[in-house]
Homo-oligomer: A and B are copies of this chain.
Amino acid sequence: MKLDSLDHQLLKYLQQDAKKTTKELALLLGLSNTAVYERIKKLERQKIITNYVALIDKEKVEKDFMVLCQVKLSQHVKNNIIQFEREVLKLEEVLECYHVSGDYDYILKVLVKNMDAYRKFIIEKLTVISGIGSTQSTFVIKEVKNTTLIVS
């Protein structure tokens, strides 16, 4: 579970380009092919690397209307919380959901095609979940930065 400097470098490279071959990485790190291979396998076994994914261009698939939606539950009973969190997991429009401090209970990052789709999402999918008190929408004017790279 202890990561050395080479592991950190390796993680950084793989978080930027998972298609890098062990050969390329070996060259970058000054290690042999197999040493890199074994390190990657170890990181996968330890679930430090959870998975490999393709990232796609939101605009090119017509999904570039993003809204940060704050949600307040009507009552903070356990059942409401469990229920809301379970339902949110099922909604494909919700990319991220955080239980947060402050006035509202949750902040959701919602991605849809356009305002119409958002209206539909709110009316037909979000507010039909029982236990929701109120919601407030903050619209994204521009995505300035969005990275999956965690520097550790």
User: Which residues of chain A have a CB within 8 Å of any CB of chain B?
Assistant: 1, 3, 11, 14-19, 46-58, 60-63, 66, 68, 85, 88-89, 92, 94-102, 106-107, 111, 138-152
Instruction: Determine the chain B residues whose CB is within 8 A of the CB of A140 once the complex forms.
Output: 98-100
Could you give 26 example pairs across A and B, Cβ below 8 Å? A1-B60, A11-B54, A11-B61, A15-B54, A18-B53, A19-B52, A48-B61, A53-B149, A56-B150, A58-B150, A61-B150, A63-B151, A88-B145, A94-B145, A95-B145, A95-B148, A95-B149, A95-B150, A96-B143, A96-B147, A97-B143, A97-B145, A98-B143, A98-B144, A99-B141, A100-B138
Partner of A49 from the list B50, B55, B94 (CB cut-off 8 Å) is B55
